Structure 1
Amino acid sequence: MILLALILVLVALLYIYFVLSHRYWKKKGIQHVEPTPIIGSLYENMTRSKSLADLIESFYKQLKQYRYSGLYNLTTPILLVNDLDLIKTITIKDFDYFTDHMNNAKEEVDPLWSRNIFAMIGEPWRVMRSALSPAFTSSKMRYMFNLINDSAEHFAEFYLKQNKDIISLEMKDAYTRATNDIIASCAFGIQCDSLNDRQNEFYVKARKAFNFSGIRQYIFFLYNSCPKLMKMLGIKIFSDEIGNFFRGVINETIDVREKNGIVRPDMIHLLLEVRKGKLQKDTSAMEDSFAATEEYNLNRKTTNIQISNEDITAQALIFFFGGFDTTSYLMCFLAYELAVNPDIQDKLRQEIQDTLENCNGKVTYEALMKMKYLDMIISEVLRKWPPTPVLDRICTKGYTIKATRSYEQDLQIKKKDIIWIPIFGIHRDPELYPNPELFNPERFSPENRRNINASAYIPFGSGPRNCIGSRFAIMENKTIIFQLLRRFSIVPTEKTDIPLKICPQQFNLTAKNGFWLGLKRL
């Protein structure tokens, strides 16, 4: 009898946890994606039959007529916000209620990950963001431009020396080697040559640190929902091996610089200036990209802020993560679109040649930023292939979404409730972007930009919690494609998938069968 009672109790608990939890949105009268038992709404992504981007787009299309709708990540309810005005309200106007990301980690679970600007939460994030913002302005990007341009020239010259008419490449591998060397130089002060020394330690460690395919792609979700389990299992975003390697690099670099008074135009120098309280925001007007994020005043004092070597390591690592992984994917999509749209590529090459003539053969940061057509192309790549398919926020204090339609009631959002914004669906909405599958840089011409709703174009996020490194990512892409196209045409090969298919196995957008393209000597 006791055994039977225990079985009945267990069945009841499982029913409550897995079945009743999936009635959350129905009880609230909210239109929602019907969940699969236990797994929730993301079944197709978890079984690798559909990418998260495609799934988010399908949810958006299915429920876009509602300002918001519901779905489930396992048993956790998530509010999917579809309405552009409501997105602006949540991410900007009422940002104080939605300041945090869901994939944060507590310091006792993962000390290094918890201290980076992406994962930090609450007041510590506000102070750190205010302190770091001056390091990511346009003027500071100009400060690092020569380092990036030297690496981009080396990247292009490496393939030029192969003396082949067409070089077939898997662009993700090629670009991660380029971005590895750029970030190693700009964020860690280390010189690498990952094209010639293909197994250099820095590149090998980076590949290992930022490989989030397979089971590792779900770690971010588990950190938020099961932090105690993560701590018990000893699972970290960056393993102790990886963390200790990069700590060693940072500590040694800082020690050498401080002992010898070395100043180098890179991110470590800027972070050290933040630590000393010497870095002030440059308010001078400079040419900027349309896709670059706006910086918001968080009204936080940043003098006497305590920034340790561990903090600098954490910021350098997340900076590396964005540059090595996310930015290289953007480069791949850029190369693909230029290869399958040769007329657009030819027009861009003409702008590159005109710019070189005006610069006497040596491009400058200012000249690069003034290239209108290049910026239109980058903006369209970010529209069609945003770095992440969904934007997340966590409610940090009770909030009410007021009813504005006849069928709505005021919706109470509780602390720790999760909000998702379907970037991939919004960016491919034909009502916002006619013929969204078409790669059309003219959408972002100076004449057309004013017609774009800011909340309908959010490749780097929205509001004060947007991507702090957007300017660096854009500059990196522009510089590499500039140096590549002045020497090569990017062409499809027999291995190129046309149209490109999104890989369902990874969280980030990437090609199912790789980015196989050719470099044809001019």
Structure 2
Amino acid sequence: MFLILFLLVVLLLFIFIRNKIKQSLQYWKKRGVPHVEAWTIFGNITPVIFRQKSFPVLLQDTYAQYSNQRYYGFYQFLKPALVIKDIDLIKQICIKDFDKFPDHPYMLPKESDPFWNGGIFAMEGKEWHDMRTTLSPAFTSSKMKGMFHLMAECAKDFVDHFENKKSDIITLEMKDELTKLTNDVIASCAFGFKCNSLIQNNEFYLTGKKAFDFTGLKGLKMFGAALSPTLMKIFKVTMFSKKTVNFFRRIVKETIDYREKTGLIRPDMIHLLREAQKGRLSNDTENSEYNYIGALETDSNQKKIITDEDIVRQAAVFFFGGYDSVASLLCNVVYELAINSDVQDKLIEEVDETLVSCNGKITYDSLMGMKYLDMVVSETLRLWTPAFLFSRRCVQPSIIKPVLPGEKPLHIETGLEIIIPTFAMHRDPNYFSNPNKFDPERFSDGNKHNIQPFTYMPFGIGPRFCIGNRFAILEVKISIFYLLTCFKIIPVKKTSIPFVIDKTSIPLRHEHGYWLGLKRRSTVM
């Protein structure tokens, strides 16, 4: 009798769950929106969960599937999202109607991870607005110029380490090595912590390596809110472990206490955040993109009061944003240079000419004036953008008006996630001819005007445009510059060509690693 009752309960539970899943996956069908059919609890990301496709490739495939549509429906687990393809719609959502789509979708519920949600990436509404307004002056060109020598010091130490080796050709897995470089840059520029991870593993490097391990089930936290906010709350899933958070708190507190006692001033992120905390950080750059549509303009009296915990959170999020993504961008730059020797030779020529013009010592202005280097980095960001998508969350009901034949007004409900598939758009042949080819000339002075607005978005667009973009670009440029002053990057026996996107990784990276060689070249000066 008990067994029969148990089986009946299990059957009823199965029927209930099955109907719940079926009902959830009818969202787009009921609204008459073209959509990718989904049949399981994983929604349309089933191939990603079971490592059949990477997320960027999955979005690229569905993007091509709906080539004649302005948008299409998508499911992350049972949660619906709307993928936007039309550039006019992207402009409308990210700029014109920014007040209706100002926030990022939840990665983890606030109750699950208050530390992560207190960082600027996850902040919402006025709280985000005030924090962004307060922090924006820390990321202006002049502030980056102040950090230039800190980055240059790390890049030079990195290159010197390999220069001191006796081999003419040094074979390296570049992801491991360049992550150590980006770790040292972040440690120096964000926390005022000087280290050389190539010589000795340090707390910063080991903490970062653990914090960015999203393999296996750990990767599911990236979809936490879409998977089940309730489960995230019950199990108290967090982006960073308690040990990692305590590490950031300790480092920031020790740094602040030391500087208060000694009067040390160092042009890094901790100093700039402390200046913002004291109300002494001014926006000293003209035509800052952070205020370019007025959405971030605010009376100085309305700026957010920054606490010590705010400094810890923003510094940690800055570390999160710059540690892995910049290393991945650097890896893809050196990979493309290695397999496109003509591009590398041209860039080396520019490096040598710039070094001569600077009398052997690179300056910020000279580096930022290198046009071909900028073209190479820009093309890498197009082809291998670390942010293969960006997304917004609707906070006010909105309507997408019909334009194409057969379209009907689409009512966007509060809470719906909007996805802009950057990787797919960057490879759309309608926007970029021969899109899979690495061609820096797309960004030359004579050609870049041909790039349609809102088709190239490596750092997003609108007021939520990545606040750290200048930092990332500067870090990549100074690293490549120093590397090419001493070495030529070459393919080796273990180099995997062509590029194969890793199906097991949420971030976009090469499945077989970045095995390349550093070939010593003659000194310029």
What residue in structure 2 maps to residue 72 of structure 1? 75
CA contact (8 A) 2:141 2:285 kept: no
Listed as ranges, the matches of 1:292-303 within 5 Å are 296-297=293-294, 298-303=296-301
1:137 and 2:140 matched: yes
What residue in structure 2 maps to residue 239 of structure 1? 241
> Any idea what the Cα deviations from partners look like across 1:155-183, whole Å, max 9, x if unmatched?
01100100211000000100010011111
Counterparts in 2 of 1:284 and 1:391: CA distance versus 1, 3 Å: closer
CA contact (8 A) 2:79 2:226 kept: no
What residue in structure 2 maps to residue 254 of structure 1? 256
What residue in structure 1 maps to residue 202 of structure 2? 200
CA contact (8 A) 1:158 1:195 kept: yes
Across the aligned residues of Structure 1 and Structure 2, the Cα RMSD in angstroms comes to 1.7
Listed as ranges, the matches of 1:218-297 within 5 Å are 218-223=220-225, 226-284=228-286, 296-297=293-294
CA contact (8 A) 1:387 1:460 kept: no
User: Distance between the aligned counterparts of 1:7 and 1:108, measured in 2?
Assistant: 31
Counterparts in 2 of 1:260 and 1:296: CA distance versus 1, 3 Å: farther
**Structure 1, 361-370 or 297-306: larger mean CA deviation:** 297-306
What residue in structure 2 maps to residue 333 of structure 1? 332
Stretches of structure 2 that go unaligned for 5 or more consecutive residues are none
> Any idea what the Cα deviations from partners look like across 1:3-22, whole Å, max 9, x if unmatched?
67645542442132111221
Deviation at 1:104, TM superposition (A): 4.4
Q: Could you say what secondary structure the match of 1:355 adopts?
A: helix
Listed as ranges, the matches of 1:336-355 within 5 Å are 336-355=335-354
Counterparts in 2 of 1:294 and 1:490: CA distance versus 1, 3 Å: farther
What residue in structure 2 maps to residue 442 of structure 1? 441
1:152 and 2:150 matched: no
Counterpart amino acid of 2:251?
Answer: V
User: Distance between the aligned counterparts of 1:220 and 1:466, measured in 2?
Assistant: 20
CA contact (8 A) 2:108 2:224 kept: no
User: Distance between the aligned counterparts of 1:186 and 1:400, measured in 2?
Assistant: 44
Q: Could you say what secondary structure the match of 1:483 adopts?
A: helix
Counterpart amino acid of 1:472?
Answer: F
> Any idea what the Cα deviations from partners look like across 1:419-471, whole Å, max 9, x if unmatched?
11111110001111111111000000112111212210011111111111011
Q: Could you say what secondary structure the match of 1:439 adopts?
A: coil
1:122 and 2:121 matched: no
User: Distance between the aligned counterparts of 2:226 and 2:299, measured in 1?
Assistant: 29
What residue in structure 2 maps to residue 498 of structure 1? 497
1:519 and 2:518 matched: yes
Counterpart amino acid of 1:460?
Answer: F
Q: Could you say what secondary structure the match of 1:446 adopts?
A: coil
What residue in structure 1 maps to residue 113 of structure 2? 110
> Any idea what the Cα deviations from partners look like across 1:333-369, whole Å, max 9, x if unmatched?
0000000001100100111111111111100000011
User: Distance between the aligned counterparts of 1:420 and 1:108, measured in 2?
Assistant: 24
1:485 and 2:488 matched: no
User: Distance between the aligned counterparts of 1:363 and 1:152, measured in 2?
Assistant: 12
What residue in structure 2 maps to residue 289 of structure 1? none
User: Distance between the aligned counterparts of 2:395 and 2:89, measured in 1?
Assistant: 17
2:51 to 44, 48, 53: 48
> Any idea what the Cα deviations from partners look like across 1:25-83, whole Å, max 9, x if unmatched?
11211111111322211111110011111111101111131011011111111111111
What residue in structure 1 maps to residue 34 of structure 2? 31
Counterpart amino acid of 1:299?
Answer: E
User: Distance between the aligned counterparts of 2:517 and 2:509, measured in 1?
Assistant: 18
1:97 and 2:100 matched: yes
**Structure 1, 445-454 or 377-386: larger mean CA deviation:** 445-454
Counterpart amino acid of 1:53?
Answer: P
User: Distance between the aligned counterparts of 1:104 and 1:121, measured in 2?
Assistant: 13
What residue in structure 2 maps to residue 161 of structure 1? 164
CA contact (8 A) 1:293 1:467 kept: no
Superposition TM-score, scaled by structure 2 size: 0.95
CA contact (8 A) 1:17 1:75 kept: no
Q: Could you say what secondary structure the match of 2:75 adopts?
A: strand
Superposition TM-score, scaled by structure 1 size: 0.96
CA contact (8 A) 1:133 1:295 kept: no
User: Distance between the aligned counterparts of 1:219 and 1:426, measured in 2?
Assistant: 26
Listed as ranges, the matches of 1:291-440 within 5 Å are 296-297=293-294, 298-303=296-301, 305-440=304-439
Counterpart amino acid of 1:283?
Answer: T
CA contact (8 A) 2:394 2:416 kept: yes
Counterparts in 2 of 1:284 and 1:465: CA distance versus 1, 3 Å: closer
Stretches of structure 1 that go unaligned for 5 or more consecutive residues are 287-291
User: Distance between the aligned counterparts of 2:164 and 2:257, measured in 1?
Assistant: 38
Deviation at 1:274, TM superposition (A): 0.6
What residue in structure 2 maps to residue 467 of structure 1? 466
User: Distance between the aligned counterparts of 2:165 and 2:458, measured in 1?
Assistant: 36
Q: Could you say what secondary structure the match of 1:456 adopts?
A: coil
**Structure 1, 416-425 or 478-487: larger mean CA deviation:** 416-425
User: Distance between the aligned counterparts of 1:48 and 1:2, measured in 2?
Assistant: 39
> Any idea what the Cα deviations from partners look like across 1:453-508, whole Å, max 9, x if unmatched?
22100111111111110110000000000000010000001111110101011111
CA contact (8 A) 1:36 1:43 kept: no
User: Distance between the aligned counterparts of 2:107 and 2:7, measured in 1?
Assistant: 41
What residue in structure 1 maps to residue 182 of structure 2? 179
User: Distance between the aligned counterparts of 1:29 and 1:108, measured in 2?
Assistant: 35
User: Distance between the aligned counterparts of 2:252 and 2:111, measured in 1?
Assistant: 22
Q: Could you say what secondary structure the match of 1:480 adopts?
A: helix
What residue in structure 2 maps to residue 59 of structure 1? 62
Q: Could you say what secondary structure the match of 1:497 adopts?
A: coil
